[in-house]
Structure 1
Amino acid sequence: MLPVMGFAQDIGTVNFQFDSDQLDAEGRQQVEAIAQKLIAAQSYKPSVVIGYTDAVGSNAYNLDLGRRRAQTVANALIALGAPVDRIDHVESRGENELLVNVATAQRSNRRVTVTLDDMLAACRSYREIQLSQSNIGASLEQDLRQKLATAVQQYQSFAATGGNGPAYQMAGAAREDCGIAVGFDGGASRKLEYSKRCLCSYARLSVAMGG
Structure 2
Amino acid sequence: MQRHSPYATPFVMEFVQKTASLANDLYWTIAPASLDQPPVYDAAFKDFVSRLSFKSFVVRVTVCNADVLLPPADAQECDASILANLPNRFPVVFGKLTLSSRLGCQLACQLASRLNCNELVCRGVTAGQALQVIESVGGDRELRRAVLVVEDVGVEGITWGDRAADLPKIEKLELSLTGVSEDVDAASVGNLTSTSLLRLRGLRGLHVRINDRSIIKYGTCLTD
TM-score by length of 2: 0.31
Which structure has greater helix proportion? 1
Which structure has greater strand proportion? 2
Higher relative contact order (CA 8 A, sep 6+): 1
From the CA coordinates, give the structure whose radius of gyration is larger. 1
